[in-house]
Amino acid sequence: MRDETPVLIVGAGLAGLSTAVFLGIHGVPSVVVERHPGLSTQPKARGQIPTTMEALATAGIADRFTHAAPPGGERSVIVIAETVTGPVLKDLVLEMPDFSRLSPAMFAAASQERAERILTDKAAELGADIRFSTELVSFRQDDETVIAELRDIATGKRRTITARYLIGADGHKGAIRDMAAIPVHGRRSSRPGRTMFLQFEADLDVALQGEAFGLFYLQNPALPTRAATVVTTDYPGRYVLAAPFEPGDDPDAEQLVDVVRTACGVPDLDVKILEIAWSSSGEHLTRVADSFQAGRVLLAGDAAHLMPPTGGQGGNTAVMDGYHLAWKLAAVLSGTAGPGLLASHDAERRPYADALAEQQYANLIQRQSPHLRDGTEAEILDPAVGLFGYICPSGAFVPEDGDQPSLFENPVTPSGRPGSRAPHVRLARGGTPVSTRDLFGSAFVLLTAGGRHWTGAVEQAVHRLGVALDLHVIGDDAGLADVDGLFLAAYGITEAGAVLVRPDGVIAWRSRGAGEPGNLERALRHVLDRIIP
C-alpha cells in the first residue's frame, strides 16, 4: 500500500511537531512518523523565550504553554553554584534583562514533556497524521517527490509513502542526515562520553527559596566529573540530575545516591532514585550540518544542529526552525513560490545555528566546564542581541546596497534592514494594545504610514501573484495608533515609505520613501523565486 502526503516529517519531538503545527496553520497537512511508541516522558528542555512564544501565539497555543508551567513557574532560581544548597557563584536571574521593549510576549516555563503534548494535540487538530512506533527505513528522491519506506515496529509491516518533501527532525541520533549524505562540522571532545539523566525525589525546598523552578549549574571537584546540572520537574519534590560520565563508568545505586547528595550539598539527604536514562552525542560537543537541505530533504532541530543545553536554546531553536520553514514549504506547495525559496532555509538558519552553537558552548565553559577554556570560544553576547538581533546574511529578502552587516545588531536600536527581525512597536487599536509583532504569522504584511499611496500596489501584487498580503496603515487616524511614535524610526522609513514583512516576521523589503508602486510586486517576485518580468 502506498500513502501520499505533501510533507513527511520524521521525528515527533519539538522540531517535527512544531513544523507540523505551523504547516497546519498554512493549510498544509503532513504525516509525522516517530519510532518510539509515544511521546517522551523525560522533562528534558524547559522554557520558551519570547520569540518562541510569539510564534506559538500565531498557532493559538501560547496560552497553553503558559498554563503548562508549574504553579508559580514564572518565578525561578537559576544559579551557578558548587552545590544545589550553595555556595552560589553567580545568580543568572539577576542578570536576566527586561525584554518587554523588544517583544509583546513573555517567557513561559513549560517542560518539553508537556510542550510536546500540546504540539501533538494542535498538529492533529490541524490535520497532521501522527504515527508512533513507525520508523523510516529508507528513502529515495527524484525531481518531483520523495519515496520513503516505513516500517511498523510492532508488526514489522512495511509500507511506502510518497511525499513532495521530507523533513528530517529525527534528533541528534537520527539517520536522515547521513542518508542524505550531508556532512557536519563542529567542536569535538577528546574523549567521547555519555550523559546520565537521573530522576530522583528529595526535599530541596531550602534551595528553591519558595520559587517554583530551579536550575542549578554545578561546578564541584567532588563530583565524579566535576560538573553536573540539577533541575526541577513538573512534580514538586522531583528533580533531574544530568551529569557526564566516561564510557564504561556505570555507577551502582549506592554510588548514585552519593552523587546526588554531593550535588545537593546535603550528606545525609534522603534520596529516592526513580529513573535513569543515558544519552550520548559521541565525540561531538557541537555539531552543525554543512547544509540544511539536500534536494527535497530539509533538516530541522537537533538533526540540523546539536549544541550544549547551557542557555536553553536547543529546544527553542527547534520550534523556530519549524516556524521559519513552514510558510516557505506552504508557498512552494501551493505554487505561490518557486522551489528556490526553500534554498533560503539553509542560507538563513544555518549561520544562526553556527553562532548559537558557539554561544551555548561558551555558556558551557562559563557555567560548568571552565577547564575547557582555550581561547577559541566565542565572546558571550548580550542576551537581547543573541535572541532578537540576528540578521540573515542572505536568503528570501531583497538586500539593500551598502556594507554587509554583521550577523547581529543591537535590537534596542534596530536598523529595519531586510533580513532582520521586524521590530516590536507598541500600537493601539481602539484603545486596545497591539504590537507590530501581533500582525504577522499567516500572510505577508505591508506596513506603512501612507496608506493611499500603497493601496494600489498591494491590490496589484495580490491580483498578479495570488499571494496573501495584508496592508496595515499605522497612524493616529488610520485605526492603528503609534503609541510611542517610534514606528518610522524603528523601521527606517519616511511617512511615505513602506516595509514588507514575511509571514514569519522577518523584513523582506522596504521602500524608505514613496518609491514606485511596481517595486512591491518586484520585491515579492524576488522573495518568492518568481520570474521578474
State yes or no: pLDDT of 212 exceeds 80.
no
Highest-pLDDT range among 202-216, 409-423, 440-454, 508-522 = 409-423
Sort strands 134-141 and 129-131 into parallel, antiparallel or unpaired: unpaired
Give the mean model confidence (pLDDT) for residues 95-115. Answer: 90
How confident is residue 92, by pLDDT bands cut at 50, 70 and 90? confident
* Cα-based torsion angle of the residue sequence 293, 295, 296, 302 in order, rounded to the nearest 10 degrees: -20
Q: Quote the mean pLDDT of the chain.
A: 92
pLDDT higher than threshold 90 for residue 401: no
Angle at 524 between CA 519 and CA 525, to 5 degrees: 95
Same fold, 2-70+107-185+285-383 and 389-527: no
Per cent of the chain over pLDDT 70 is 95
The packing angle between helices 112-125 and 14-25, to 10°, is 30
Please determine, for residue 440, whether its predicted confidence score (pLDDT) is greater than 90: yes
* 192 pLDDT tier (thresholds 50, 70, 90): low
Angle at alpha carbon of residue 448, lines to 443 and 453, rounded to 5°: 105
- ω into residue 87 within 30 of 0, thus cis? yes
The mean pLDDT of 231-259, rounded to a whole number, is: 87
Query: Among 47-56, 127-136, 225-234, 429-438, whose mean pLDDT is lowest?
Result: 225-234
- CATH number given to 2-70+107-185+285-383: 3.50.50.60
Extents of the domains making up the chain: 2-70+107-185+285-383, 389-527
pLDDT higher than threshold 50 for residue 1: no
Question: pTM to 2 decimals?
Answer: 0.94
Average pLDDT over residues 420-430: 96
C-alpha distances (whole Å) from 489 to each of 155, 305, 493, 509 are 62, 35, 7, 16
- Specify whether the CB–CB gap between 32 and 16 falls below 8 A: yes
- On whether the CB atoms of residues 9 and 169 are closer than 8 A, the answer is yes
pLDDT above 90: percentage of residues in the chain = 75
Over residues 106-110, the mean pLDDT reads 90
Q: How far apart are CA 384 and CA 162, in angstroms?
A: 42
Residues carrying an active site annotation = 217
> What cell does 490 get?
524603528
SS3 content of the chain, % helix, strand, coil (to 5): 30, 30, 40
**pLDDT over 60 at 175, yes or no:** yes
Confidence of residue 160 (pLDDT cuts 50, 70, 90): very high
- pLDDT category at 156 given cuts 50, 70, 90 is very high
What is the model's pLDDT at position 119? 98
Tell me the per-residue pLDDT of 451-503, one tens digit each, with 9 for 90 and over: 778 999 999 999 999 999 999 999 866 689 999 999 999 999 999 999 999 99
Q: Please report the pLDDT score of residue 298 as a whole number.
A: 98
- Packed helices 50-58 and 14-25: angle between N→C axes, nearest 10 degrees: 40
CA distance 324 to 193: 33
Q: Which CATH number fits domain 389-527: 3.30.1330.200, 3.20.20.70, 3.40.30.10, 3.40.30.120?
A: 3.40.30.120
- Nearest-angstrom CA–CA distance, 186 and 376: 12
Mean pLDDT of 447-454: 87
pLDDT at 444 over 70: yes
Query: Who wins on pLDDT, 458 or 246?
Result: 458
Three-class DSSP category at 355: helix
**Residues 369-407, buried b or exposed e (16+ Cβ, 10 A)?**
beebeeeebeeebebbebbbbbbbbebbbbeeeeeeeeb
Rounded to an integer, the average pLDDT of 149-170 is 97
pLDDT of the residue at 190: 66
Please say if the pLDDT value at position 281 is more than 60: no
* pLDDT tens per residue, range 288-316: 999 999 999 999 999 999 998 888 899 99
Give me the pLDDT at residue 245, please: 80
Neighbours of 95 (CB within 10 A): 9
